[in-house]
Amino acid sequence: MHTDTLAIRPLEGCGALVEGIDAARATDAEIDAVRAAVYDRGVAFLHGAVLTPEAQIAFAKRIGPIVVNRYFPKTERYPEIAKVEKAEAQTTNIGGGWHTDHSYDTCPAMGSVLMAVVTPPTGGDTLFANMYAAYDALSDEMKAKIAPLKAHHASAHVFGEASVYAQTDRADLAGHKDTPEAIHPVVITHPGSGKKALYVNPSFTTGIVGMAPDEGRALLMELYAHAMQPRFHTRFSWAPGSIAIWDNRATWHFAMNDYQGHYRLMHRITLDGGPLS
């Protein structure tokens, strides 16, 4: 899409680059175009100056209603903004594996508005995977097989007391006792775009309802290997002020952990979602 100043350029694999917009002063038409790009391409990327917390909150609210994340440390004065932070001495990052945020919730968050505040000298990119494209490229036989299936999603193994994070230098993440589980269809229809998307992910999906664990795991591994093909992916390189607005119903993401010894700080606002079908 092009207007006098706004240009939305679909990227190979996943996402769209939005140019000619000032997130702090966007018109209603520009916000609507950004939201449409997020729904259609799974993630929209913007480059600009670092927004104040008030401006980031105001921008995010225009995309969708905000919900407070239960696990990440909050910024001192703004509970709506979570800090996705890695200190020089920490070795484990947040989100360093393919995942879809909040799939363990009955009504998963719609998405996130993530802004880079401090970036490392090199590295710290985020990969995004297009779950519409991954679904579309499945064989007709696989589409028929997974159409009626539901999957189980959990959070305790990632955020709970004996979890992956709790056993590393990310024990600072909160909510160790607040570890929801949910069941969702393996294939969902995106409420905004009407397109079908694959809705299982390697971090939080723990099995297929009604299948023996081994059989469910084998099916999930086949779907993951398919979706991990680079043809469905985009790699986003951040500078301070860069923003990614992603849709959890249409993407996976993966924060690269390739900047050991350097500081990285992102401000993340989570957008509320609804039930999936």
Instruction: Map residues 208-247 to x or -, x wherever contact with ligand SIN holds by CB under 6 A.
Output: ----------------------------------------
Per the rule left: phi > 0, alpha: psi between -120 and 50, beta: everything else, 133 is alpha
268 carries an active-site annotation: yes
Nearer to ligand SIN, 45 or 135 (CB): 45
Nearer to ligand SIN, 11 or 114 (CB): 114
Rounded-to-integer distance, Cα 96 and Cα 117, Å: 18
- Closest approach of ligand SIN to the CB of residue 25, in Å: 25
Residue with token string 């929801």: 180
Structure tokens at 200: 């299982």
> Which alpha helices (H) appear in the chain, and where do they start and end?
28-41, 53-63, 131-136, 140-146, 156-159, 213-227
Between residue 124 and residue 183, which ones bind ligand SIN under the rule CB under 6 A? 126
101 carries an active-site annotation: yes
Q: How far apart are the first and last CA of the chain?
A: 29
Q: Does 94 bind ligand SIN (CB under 6 A)?
A: yes
Say which of 101, 102, 170, 264 is annotated catalytic: 101
99 carries an active-site annotation: yes
Q: Does 84 bind ligand SIN (CB under 6 A)?
A: yes
Rounded-to-integer distance, Cα 148 and Cα 211, Å: 12
Site of interaction with ligand SIN (CB under 6 A): 84, 94-95, 114, 126, 253, 255, 266, 268
> What residues are annotated to the active site?
99, 101, 253, 268
